[in-house]
């Protein structure tokens, strides 16, 4: 599958673990099928929701291989290769390409800060050495270095990157990305701001990458369709319902601002829906207690996503 454009709903797939902490291959296979049956337009492996930074390279390869196998060519499969350096990103890139990824998603290197000039060289080197398209990823809260809109414009115009995922949380920056790349043929901008999907699409974004789309992929597909059809009132009402669903993320240690353990709420919801077996997280991230998981169930029932 040679990707030429990315649009629609592309959830960053969660990484299920068994009780012993090992990858749960059967749950991952069910989750992949759950997303595809929900009508998603692609699947993003090894993103933040997939606990990418906590995984070994062997686990990363297995995850991509499993999703690619279950997908069987139905939708594009993206794989994250955000790393600390050019050499490490290239090494991971070769692993996921060999595993079958159709494109790679790359944020600026984390730990060390980088200049925008260094980022231009970084993405150009990856594009030259890897055999699949590159999607840039703006997520300064996690990697420290932002992707300046002028940098994205240069990379998009010269064809180094085919798309951008924006998880910066600033609508002003999103608008500038859209304005600067609007006339680049085939280039698309996807939002990771799950509370503002309807607004982002009205601004001109081409789709979303919603972590909670793991739980209710069909609802996010419907939100996308309503938004692109200009049915803004219906889109707003659905968006607000989905915002309420985010209460599943504010249980236990996840109530602490900034705790990545909020992702355990996604997994707990998927467990209640019968998609995966546990809500276990990769250590040191914490998992929900049984009492906290019961609160997740109550939220799903109250919002009509699960029968009581």
**What domains sit in the chain, N to C, each tagged with a CATH number?**
8-235 (3.20.20.70)
3: nearest Cα among 227, 199, 190, 203:
190
Residues acting as catalytic residues: 165
Q: Per-10-residue mean pLDDT for the chain, 308 residues long? A: 83 96 97 98 96 96 98 97 98 98 98 96 98 97 96 98 96 97 97 95 97 97 98 97 92 54 89 96 87 94 94
pLDDT of residue 255: 53
Cα separation of 28 and 14, whole Å?
Answer: 8
pLDDT of residue 193: 93
Beta-carbon contacts of residue 141 (< 8 Å; ≥ 6 apart): 167, 168, 169
> What tokens appear for 113 in the block?
């800060």
Cα separation of 182 and 70, whole Å?
Answer: 35
Is 86 in a helix, a strand, or coil? helix
Tokens 């930074």, located at residue: 53
> What tokens appear for 259 in the block?
């705790």
> What tokens appear for 22 in the block?
């090992």
Cα separation of 40 and 24, whole Å?
Answer: 22
pLDDT of residue 277: 97
Read off the pTM: 0.95
pLDDT of residue 237: 97
pLDDT of residue 278: 95
**Helical segments of 130-260, H only:** 140-143, 149-157, 171-181, 197-203, 217-228, 232-245
pLDDT of residue 261: 64
CB 13 within 8 A of CB 210: no
> What tokens appear for 245 in the block?
């669903």
> What tokens appear for 13 in the block?
């797939």
pLDDT of residue 252: 62
């Amino acid at each position: 599958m040679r990707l030429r454009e990315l649009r629609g709903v592309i959830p960053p797939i969660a990484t299920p673990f068994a009780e012993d902490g090992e990858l749960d291959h059967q749950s991952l296979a069910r989750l992949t099928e759950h997303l595809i049956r929900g009508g998603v337009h692609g699947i993003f492996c090894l993103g933040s929701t997939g606990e990418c930074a906590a995984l070994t390279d062997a686990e990363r390869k297995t995850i991509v291989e499993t999703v690619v196998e279950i997908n069987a060519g139905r939708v594009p499969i993206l794989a994250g290769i955000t790393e600390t350096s050019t050499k490490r990103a290239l090494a991971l890139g070769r692993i996921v390409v060999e595993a079958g990824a159709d494109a790679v998603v790359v944020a600026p290197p984390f730990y060390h800060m980088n200049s925008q000039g260094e980022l231009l060289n970084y993405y150009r080197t990856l594009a030259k050495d890897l055999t699949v398209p590159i999607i840039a990823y703006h997520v300064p809260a996690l990697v420290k270095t932002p992707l300046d809109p002028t940098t994205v414009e240069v990379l998009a115009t010269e064809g180094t990157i085919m798309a951008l995922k924006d998880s910066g949380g600033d609508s002003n920056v999103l608008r500038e990305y859209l304005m600067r790349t609007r006339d680049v043929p085939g280039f698309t901008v996807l939002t990771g701001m799950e509370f503002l999907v309807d607004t982002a699409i009205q601004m001109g974004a081409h789709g979303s990458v919603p972590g909670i789309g793991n739980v209710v992929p069909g609802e996010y597909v419907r939100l996308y369709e309503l938004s692109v059809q200009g049915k803004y009132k219906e889109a707003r009402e659905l968006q607000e319902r989905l915002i309420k669903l985010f209460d599943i993320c504010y249980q236990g240690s996840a109530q602490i601002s900034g705790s990545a353990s909020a992702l355990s709420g996604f997994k707990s919801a998927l467990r209640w829906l019968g998609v995966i077996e546990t809500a276990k997280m990769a250590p040191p991230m914490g998992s929900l207690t049984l009492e906290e998981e019961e609160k997740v169930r109550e939220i799903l029932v109250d919002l009509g996503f699960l029968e009581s």
